[in-house]
Amino acid sequence: MTSRRPIALAALAALSALVVAACVRADLQTPAPQPGNPMADSVPLRVASYNVSLYDEDAGGLVQRLELGNAHARRIAAVLQKVRPDIVLLNEFDYDPEGRAADLFQRRYLEQAQAEGGDALHYPYRYLAPVNTGVPSGLDLDGNGSVGGAGRERGNDAWGYGLHPGQYGMLVLSKHPIDAARVRSFQLLRWSTMPGARRPVDPATGVPFHSDAVWEQLRLSSKSHWDVPVATPLGEVHLLAAHPTPPAFDGPEKRNVARNHDEIRLWREYLTPAPGQDAWLCDDAGRCGGLEQDARFVILGDLNSDPVDGNGDPAAIRSLIGHPRVLRHEPPASEGAALAAASEPGNEGHRGVHAHDTGRFGPRVGNLRLDYALPSAGFRLAGSGVFWPPPDHPDAAIAAASDHHLVWVDLLD
C-alpha cells in the first residue's frame, strides 16, 4: 500500500460525508417519480450481491445450524427483508446437492418476518450448483511436496480452497423465472487454456510455481463462473456470477493474486468477441464462445479486488468496470462506509473513496470495495447503494452480520 501522512479523523469524516452526498444516493427506497419524469410509470428492477458468510467448516454443518435456529442467518435474512432485492446473488453460502440449506434459509428465515427486518420475503426461483471449493484435486497445488494434509491445510490442494466440497458456495434467488436449461457454468475451465494466462512464477528462480503436469490441469475458477439468464420485466438479463479467490494466502509467487486477476479477466473475455475464443472459452457443457453482443447483463459477486487499494492487482477489475459494454455510473455508496473508514485503523494510506467500500477486513487490510453489481450499458440507473448504515442507526446491528455489506442497483429500460 502507498503510505501518506494520516489525516485528522474528524476532517476525514466530514470529507467522507460530503463524498457520499456528492457521489451516489444510497437510500434504500426508490426515489419518488416526478411529474414529467420518464421513470414515473416504471418499476425498477433491484439486483443485489451479498457475501453472507453462511458457511461451516464441516460438511452439512450449515444445514444443522439452520435447523437449530441461527442468529447469524436471522440477521442476514433481516438485511434482505430490508433491501428487498428482486434478484440477489449470495456468496459464501455452502452448497449441498439436495439444496437443504437453501430450503431452510428460505422457509425458516426469509419467509418469516424477522424482528429487525421487514415483511417476509419469498423467492419462487433459485439457482445453485457445484463449485470447486473443497473438491480434492489429487494434485500438489500448494507446492509443499504432498497431497492433502491435516486440519485446515487439506484445503490447499482442493481445486478451490475449502475444507469440504461446496464450502463458500453461491446461491441465486429470484422473483423472476430462471432459465436453468440455458445456464452456462465454467467450473471446469482450465486456467492454462486462457490466452496470456498469468502463470505463477517463483521470483527467486524464474521457474513456474506449478509443474507442467499440474498447470495443465489446474482449474481457473476457485468457486465457479455462472451465466444465469433470468426473464425479468425488463426482458432477459444474464447474471454473471462469480467469487474469485482473495489475492492473499500465498507466497512470493503470488499465485492467488494471479488467479484473482484472471478469474476477473474471464468476464472481460466473455464480453469481448475475439478470434480463437471457440478454441478455449468453453463451458462445462461444451458450448464455446462469449456472451451475445445484444444480451443485457449484470456482473455480480464478491470479486475480491478493489480498483485502487488492497494487495491485489487492480488491472483486471479496472478493465472490467471500464469495459464498453458496462454502464458508466457512480459506484454505489453509503454513509456508514465513509464513517467507518474515518474511525478504524488500517485505512490511513488508502487512496480510494471510502464511501464506496463494501466491507471491513481488519487493521492489516482496512476497508475495501470488493462487492459489485455492474449492469450493462443500455439500462438506466434509478438508484444504488451499499447497506452500511451509520453506527448509531437502528439497522447497524443486522448490517454487521457479515464482514461484507450488500450492494444493490435499481435498473430501468
Taking a C-beta distance cutoff of 8 angstroms, is the pair 222, 258 a contact? no
**Which residues are bridge partners to 46 per DSSP?**
410
Instruction: From first to last of the 413 residues of the chain, give the pLDDT tens digit.
Output: 333 333 333 333 443 433 333 333 333 433 333 333 444 358 999 999 999 999 999 999 999 999 999 999 999 999 999 999 999 999 999 999 999 999 999 999 999 999 999 999 999 999 999 999 999 999 999 999 999 888 888 899 999 999 999 999 999 999 999 999 999 999 999 999 999 999 999 999 999 999 999 999 999 999 999 999 999 999 999 999 999 999 999 999 999 999 999 999 999 999 999 999 999 999 999 999 999 999 999 999 999 999 999 999 999 999 999 999 999 999 999 999 999 999 999 999 999 999 999 999 999 999 999 999 999 999 999 999 999 999 999 999 999 999 999 999 999 99
CB contact burial 292-310 (16+ within 10 A = b; e otherwise): eeebbbbbbbbbbbbbebb
In the block, residue with C-alpha cell 471449493 = 133
**Domains of the chain by start residue, with CATH:** 44-412 (3.60.10.10)
**DSSP string for residues in 342-396:** HHSTT-TT--S-GGG--EE--TTT-EE--EEEEEBBTBEEEEEEE----TTSTTH
- Enter the C-alpha cell of residue 380: 438506466
